[in-house]
Amino acid sequence: MNEIKVASRQGVKFAVFNPVGYPPKVAKKQAAARLGSLDGRTIYLVDCRFDDSIELLKQVQAWFAEHMPSVATKMVSLSNMYQKDDPKLWEEIKANGDAAIFGVGHCSTCAPAVATHAITVDTKYGVPTVAIHTHIFDKVVRSVTKMGGLPELPCVFVPQPVMGKSAAELKAYIDGNNPNTGRPVMQEVVEGLTKGLAGDMAVGVDRSTPRMVDPDTEENLHELFLNNNWTDKLPIVLPTEERVAAMLAGTSRKPDEVVGRMQPTHNRGRWEYTVEKVAVNAVMAGARPEYFPVILALAASEVSARGSTSSSSAAMVVVNGPIRHEIEMNCGIGAMGPYNHANATIGRAYGLLSQNGQGGSVVGETYMGSQGHNMAYNSCTFAENEERSPWAPLHVQKGFKLEDSTVSVFWGMRSSSFCLGLRETHWKDHVRDMLTGIDPNLPPCFVLDPITARQFVGRGGFDTKEKLIRWAWENAQMKAGVYWDLQLVQNYIYPRATFGEEPFASKLKAKPDELINTFVEDEINVVVVGGETNGYWSIQGTRYNKTISIDEWR
């Protein structure tokens, strides 16, 4: 097909590709029989261990004691963090309980988890359940229950937020109405356990994502892509047949080969995408065919650059090896900024293939970042400055050879501390202060200009990255009482500690005033990037996920 040459005002229509991936296969599940009456029954109240969930469930327990005293309630907590399945507890509920109420889903990851646990107990263990969430996650929950095979799961909503609310305020939630339906909260809870559900609701997940969209004019196609949430709201390059064919020439892989599967949040269901689907999104981002192996490697990571997390994080992408120079990526001046075509469009393609490949990144439905993150536009994509670094490059640390071309993906970039160089006298104190500014749930990654990297060698004697990492681990400390009081630590680390997972379980034994190591040594990383215009550097709170070979996707 010819490239667009005729002005679209003349009514010329073009055939372009659909960028969306393929939904997962969903099996319809059978809900447990409802109870008819709760008189004399035992109901488990299952605390899913997120942001004061148990405090709201205490008010549910008090409501039953006041209004339905014949009902026995038992408060229990998951044995680990909210995303972990708990078969031992499910068996206890099945053996000793008649029904279960799960709560509270009030973040983009815990709401899907709460719904998924309820589905598991309802359909696999035969115990009727109700899941309680806050009202802002209605669309998220409905999407998850549909993908989970039980769209009719009773879900009841209370106002957002739960965290930090007083007992009186939470009681008002329970005594009040569901903000989404206007009906009394506890009436819906009781009915969810006693009345028949909405019948055999069809799951209705279509596996046949069209390969092409209906031909139309250039203006209309741009409007279609924008309105369908297939873009990042910036202008895109229309993925015509000729452009996609040119992109596919950048790899030896077959167009219909499945590259990977992604989902915006746990439990929604992993959508599938092919080499051709990735090429479509690469064209949309304005990438060139020679960049395509890097983009395919990112797609193969199966790590979404459009995670739904309400913490508003972004991904970080680091490219290593010869391909940096082959495609003229920037690892020097302005490498983390908007000044290089390869850096910018590879990162943008990663974001577009993530949101379209995983079936969407729609605000209020599959994206719940409360503030959002500007770095998500291109996932902070850059090449490491291997030539000016005093240390081994990142991919060699991760087990690859120097001559290999790789891309490394970091997840959860959302906290940062920043400095200029290392002072001779108090640099250790300054770096310790910087480390305390990083969210303890995500490990630090030192992002160093080569000037500062050499200062770490000269002032600290760190002739390897490993020595700097060891020093950072040893010196990133805080009082145990302060550490365990942090909300994110309570949400994500404390449950793992109570489950006996090390090194967190040992930290839990420390006295409140005892200093403990804030991070896990093996999770700390160092990357060198920058053009030596000055020794500015930062520590980013971001978790290394994996390193993928680019050469395998050439």
In 3D space, the residue among 388, 390, 384 whose CA is nearest the CA of residue 447 turns out to be 384
Instruction: Give me the pLDDT at residue 4, please.
Output: 40
Could you give the angle at the alpha carbon of 7 between the alpha carbons of 6 and 10, nearest 5°?
95
Instruction: Give me the pLDDT at residue 117, please.
Output: 96
Q: Over its length of 554 residues, how does the chain's per-residue pLDDT go in tens digits?
A: 444 443 445 689 999 999 999 999 888 999 999 999 999 999 999 999 888 899 999 999 999 999 999 999 999 999 888 888 999 999 999 999 999 999 999 888 889 999 999 999 999 999 999 999 999 999 999 989 998 999 999 999 999 999 999 999 999 999 999 999 999 999 999 999 999 887 555 555 555 799 999 999 999 999 999 999 999 999 999 999 999 999 999 999 999 999 999 998 888 889 999 999 999 999 999 999 999 999 999 999 999 999 888 888 899 999 999 999 999 999 999 999 999 999 999 999 999 999 999 999 988 888 888 888 888 889 999 999 999 999 999 999 999 999 999 999 999 888 889 999 999 999 999 999 999 888 888 999 999 999 999 999 999 999 999 999 999 999 999 999 999 999 889 888 988 898 889 999 999 999 999 999 999 999 999 999 999 999 999 999 999 999 999 999 99
Residue-wise DSSP of 52-116? THHHHHHHHHHHHHHH-TTSEEEEEE-SS-TTS--HHHHHHHHHH-SEEEEEEE-STTHHHHHHH
Identify the burial level of 241 via C-beta atoms within 10 angstroms of its C-beta, where 0-12 means exposed, 13-18 middle and 19 or more buried. Answer: middle
Identify the burial level of 87 via C-beta atoms within 10 angstroms of its C-beta, where 0-12 means exposed, 13-18 middle and 19 or more buried. Answer: exposed
Q: What is the DSSP letter of 6?
A: S
- Is the preceding peptide bond at 215 cis, omega within 30 degrees of 0? no
Query: Is 281 within 8 Å of 326 (Cβ atoms)?
Result: no
- Helix/strand/coil for 2: coil
Query: Is 237 within 8 Å of 286 (Cβ atoms)?
Result: yes
Q: What is the dihedral of CA 203, 356, 312, 342, to 10 degrees?
A: 170
**Interstrand relation of 42-47 and 72-77 (parallel, antiparallel or unpaired):** parallel
Domains contained in the chain, CATH given? 42-194 (3.40.50.2300), 218-414+545-553 (no CATH)
Instruction: Give me the pLDDT at residue 6, please.
Output: 37
Instruction: Give me the pLDDT at residue 8, please.
Output: 44
Distance CA 42, CA 245 (A): 62
Sign of the Cα torsion 89, 94, 98, 104 reads positive
Distance CA 206, CA 513 (A): 56
In 3D space, the residue among 287, 428, 403, 396 whose CA is nearest the CA of residue 350 turns out to be 287
Length of the chain: 554
Distance CA 370, CA 309 (A): 8
Query: Is 491 within 8 Å of 51 (Cβ atoms)?
Result: yes
Instruction: Give me the pLDDT at residue 441, please.
Output: 87
Place of tokens 């020097």: 332
Distance CA 526, CA 217 (A): 48
Query: Is 115 within 8 Å of 129 (Cβ atoms)?
Result: no
